[in-house]
Chains A and B, each alone.
Chain A
Amino acid sequence: MSIRGVEINIHGLGYRYSTRGNPTFTNLQLQSRRGEALAIIGRSGCGKSTLLHIIAGLNRPTEGVIEFDGKKVDGPSSRWVMMFQAPHLYPWMKVSQNVGVGLKFAGWPEKEKAERVAEALRLVELQDYAEVSVQDLSGGQQQRVALARSLVMEPELLLLDEPFSALDAFTRSSLQRDVRSIAKKLGFNLIIVTHDIDEAILMADRAVIMAGAPGKIVTEFEVPLPDPRQRQDPAVQAMRSRLMDAFHSAAGKPTGADAHGEEDVDTDSESVTQHA
Chain B
Amino acid sequence: MSNQATSGAVTAASGVTRGAGARYAMAASRGTANFVLGLLILAVLWGIGGYMIATNPKTANFAGFGLLPTLQAFPELWDMGKLQKATYASGYRLGSGMLIAILVGVPLGIIMGRVQWFRKLSNSPFQLLRMISPLSWMPIAVLVFSSWDGSIVFLVAFASVWPVMYQTAAGLSKVDPAWFKVARNLGATQAQMLTQIILPAISFDIFTGIRLALGVAWVVLVPAELLGVTSGLGYAIKDARETLSYDHLTAMVLTIGIIGYALDTLCALLIKKFSWHRGDM
A84 to B185, CA, bound (A): 11
A105 to B193, CA, bound (A): 9
The smallest C-beta distance from B199 to any residue of chain A, in angstroms, reads: 10
In the bound complex, residues from chain B placing their C-beta under 8 Å from that of A219 are none
Count chain A residues whose beta carbon lies closer than 8 angstroms to a beta carbon of B.
22
Given contacts A86-B178, A105-B183, contact A92 B188 (CB under 8 A): no
Per-residue CB contact flags for chain B residues 183-226 toward chain A (1 = under 8 Å, else 0) read: 11111110010001100110100000000000000000000000
In the bound complex, residues from chain A placing their C-beta under 8 Å from that of B200 are 90, 92-93
B186 touches A88 (CB 8 A): no
Give the interface centre of B187, B201, B203, B278 by most chain A CB atoms within 10 Å.
B187
B186 touches A78 (CB 8 A): yes
A191 to B276, CA, bound (A): 34
Query: Is A271 in the interface zone, CB < 8 Å from B?
Result: no
Query: Is B179 in the interface zone, CB < 8 Å from A?
Result: yes
Q: Among the listed B182, B183, B184, B276, which residue makes an inter-chain contact with A92, where contact means beta carbons less than 8 Å apart?
A: B276
Per-residue CB contact flags for chain A residues 66-98 toward chain B (1 = under 8 Å, else 0) read: 000000000011100110101010111100000
A101 touches B183 (CB 8 A): yes
In the bound complex, residues from chain B placing their C-beta under 8 Å from that of A81 are 185-186
B181 touches A58 (CB 8 A): yes
Query: Is A200 in the interface zone, CB < 8 Å from B?
Result: no
In the bound complex, residues from chain A placing their C-beta under 8 Å from that of B197 are 90
Cβ < 8 Å to A, chain B residues 151-184:
176, 178-179, 181-184
Given contacts A86-B178, A101-B196, contact A91 B185 (CB under 8 A): no
B interface: dominant SS: helix
A166 to B186, CA, bound (A): 23
The smallest C-beta distance from B174 to any residue of chain A, in angstroms, reads: 12
A interface: dominant SS: loop
In the bound complex, residues from chain B placing their C-beta under 8 Å from that of A208 are none
- The chain A residue with its CB closest to the CB of B176 is A88
Count chain B residues whose beta carbon lies closer than 8 angstroms to a beta carbon of A.
20
Q: Among the listed B185, B196, B201, B278, which residue makes an inter-chain contact with A76, where contact means beta carbons less than 8 Å apart?
A: B185
Given contacts A88-B178, A92-B200, contact A135 B278 (CB under 8 A): yes
B185 touches A82 (CB 8 A): yes
The smallest C-beta distance from A233 to any residue of chain B, in angstroms, reads: 35
Given contacts A88-B176, A91-B276, A105-B192, contact A78 B181 (CB under 8 A): no
In the bound complex, residues from chain B placing their C-beta under 8 Å from that of A86 are 178
A78 touches B178 (CB 8 A): no
The smallest C-beta distance from B189 to any residue of chain A, in angstroms, reads: 7
A88 touches B187 (CB 8 A): no
- The chain A residue with its CB closest to the CB of B192 is A105
Given contacts A84-B178, A86-B178, A88-B179, contact A105 B185 (CB under 8 A): no
Shortest 4 CB-CB contacts between residues of A and residues of B: A102-B186, A92-B276, A88-B178, A78-B187
Q: List 12 A-B contacts (CB under 8 A).
A: A76-B185, A77-B187, A78-B186, A84-B182, A88-B176, A88-B181, A90-B179, A91-B276, A92-B200, A101-B196, A105-B192, A153-B187
Known: A90-B200, A92-B203, A105-B187. 18 other contacts (CB 8 A): A58-B184, A76-B185, A76-B187, A78-B185, A78-B186, A82-B185, A86-B178, A88-B176, A88-B178, A90-B197, A101-B183, A102-B186, A104-B196, A105-B186, A105-B192, A149-B186, A153-B186, A153-B187
- Residues of A in contact with B (beta carbons under 8 Å apart): 56, 58, 76-78, 81-82, 84, 86, 88, 90-93, 101-102, 104-106, 135, 149, 153
- Residues of B in contact with A (beta carbons under 8 Å apart): 176, 178-179, 181-189, 192, 196-197, 200-201, 203, 276, 278
